Every structure is written in structure tokens, then in C-alpha cells.
Chains A and B, each alone.
Chain A
Amino acid sequence: QQQVKQSPQSLIVQKGGISIINCAYENTAFDYFPWYQQFPGKGPALLIAIRPDVSEKKEGRFTISFNKSAKQFSLHIMDSQPGDSATYFCAASDSGGYQKVTFGTGTKLQVIP
């Protein structure tokens, strides 16, 4: 019940295209949903996050869509750039859990010119 399921495992997108990564969770206690970006040899870095009281959050080219009833959320990267090539992790935590973050399995994104 603590799992966060993520798909696809890998994604190849042309420059300028839209990258879409999907996640699903089961634990209804989760109330904070961050997305992390990880470059090779680096630690995960927070990209964007959402709370379940909103259905969408947009920051620049990055948008999270959140469907509370379906317990699903997704990351959309608009106008994808080669510099966006990285591994993306969706994650979830609950306010009672000292910020223990449960990560998804990761999506390796490659944006080709």
C-alpha cells in the first residue's frame, strides 16, 4: 500500500515535444506529491510538487495534473529540450510521516534533437 507506481520506465521524445509520465498510488494518507529530477551521478532535486487540494500546478514548462479520485498524477513537460534528459521520479509523502518520501520507480527521459 506504500508503493507509488510509475510509467513508462523509459521515454524518448523529440525536441519540442511533450513528455508525459504517469504515477499512481494507493495510500490515501499521502497528501504531498513531489516530482524529482535526477541527473547521472547527482542526487534527486525537487522539480515541482502538488497537494491534493488542487488538480493542476504549472511551473514554466512543467505541469502536474492530479486526479484525487483515481489516485493518479502525472508530469507533463512541454516543449521538451535535450537538457531535460534525466531520470524523473514521482513521489509521495504524508504529513504525519516526518516527510518520509516514497519514490516511484523512475522514468529515464531522453530528448533527442
Chain B
Amino acid sequence: EPEVTQTPSHQVTQMGQEVILRCVPISNHLYFYWYRQILGQKVEFLVSFYNNEISEKSEIFDDQFSVERPDGSNFTLKIRSTKLEDSAMYFCASTRGSYGNTIYFGEGSWLTVV
């Protein structure tokens, strides 16, 4: 079964450092997402990306966050100047089409900011 792959699986970074989380969505998918899950809490939407631009973002996705699809396969989340409260599991997800199509989640990148 096709899957969304994420790297790294775990990253520890110092507060104030920049972090890039990488994702390879399923190859024929057109919609891409980042979600995050703080330990023990619910999964929260960060951003959706379609046709090479952000289609929607949450209030969490402020100026310290950015996304990019630098080539035909990778989808990245950059966090500039990380804060302690950015510590969370970050999930990349993708789907082939909107409305009702299954969204496939990756296994996550666990970010620890110290």
C-alpha cells in the first residue's frame, strides 16, 4: 500500500534554531497537509497546500512556519527560530482529491525543542 514517508522520525533542536521537516507524499496525490499533535493532545491542522500554494492555514501557522514543495516529490515544513512550545509530533498528510477522499498520514516527525 502506498504511504506517506517522513524524515526525520525524531529531531532534538535547541530553542531558536531552524528546523526542516521533510515529507514524501503519495505520488499521485494533489493535496498536502501538515498537522501537529502535542503529546497527549488532539491532532491539530496547520496548513494545506494545493497547486503549489497554501490553500488554508490555521492560527497556529504563524510567520515562523513555512511550507515548500521544492520538487515533484518532497513537501517540507520549516520552523524558524523554534520555541519550547513547538515540541510536538508533526504529521504530513496527502490526498488525491478534495472532499471525502481518504487522507493518508505519515508516521510523524517527533520534534523536541530544548
Name A residues whose Cβ lies closer than 8 Å to a Cβ of B.
32, 34, 36, 41-46, 49, 51, 89, 95, 97-106
Contact = CB atoms under 8 A, between A and B. Distances in A.
Contacts of A49: 100
Binding site secondary structure of chain A: loop
Contact of B98 (A41, A43, A99, A106): A99
Contacts of A89: 42-43
A106 B55 contact: no
Contact of B99 (A41, A44, A99): A99
Interface in B32-78: 33, 35, 41-45, 48, 50, 55-56, 58
A101 B50 contact: no
Contacts of A44: 43, 91, 105
Interface residues on B, range: 20 to 34
A98 B105 contact: no
B101 interface: yes
Contacts of B4: 43
B32 to A, nearest CB: 10
A5 to B, nearest CB: 11
Interface in B1-50: 4, 31, 33, 35, 41-45, 48, 50
Contacts of B50: 98
27 contacts: A32-B100, A34-B103, A36-B105, A41-B107, A42-B107, A43-B91, A43-B105, A44-B105, A45-B105, A46-B102, A46-B104, A51-B100, A89-B43, A95-B99, A95-B100, A97-B56, A98-B48, A98-B55, A98-B56, A98-B98, A99-B33, A100-B33, A101-B35, A101-B45, A105-B41, A106-B41, A106-B42
A8 to B, nearest CB: 14
B42 A104 contact: yes
Contacts of B107: 41-43
B44 A100 contact: no
Nearest to B45: A100
B87 interface: no
Contacts of A105: 41-42
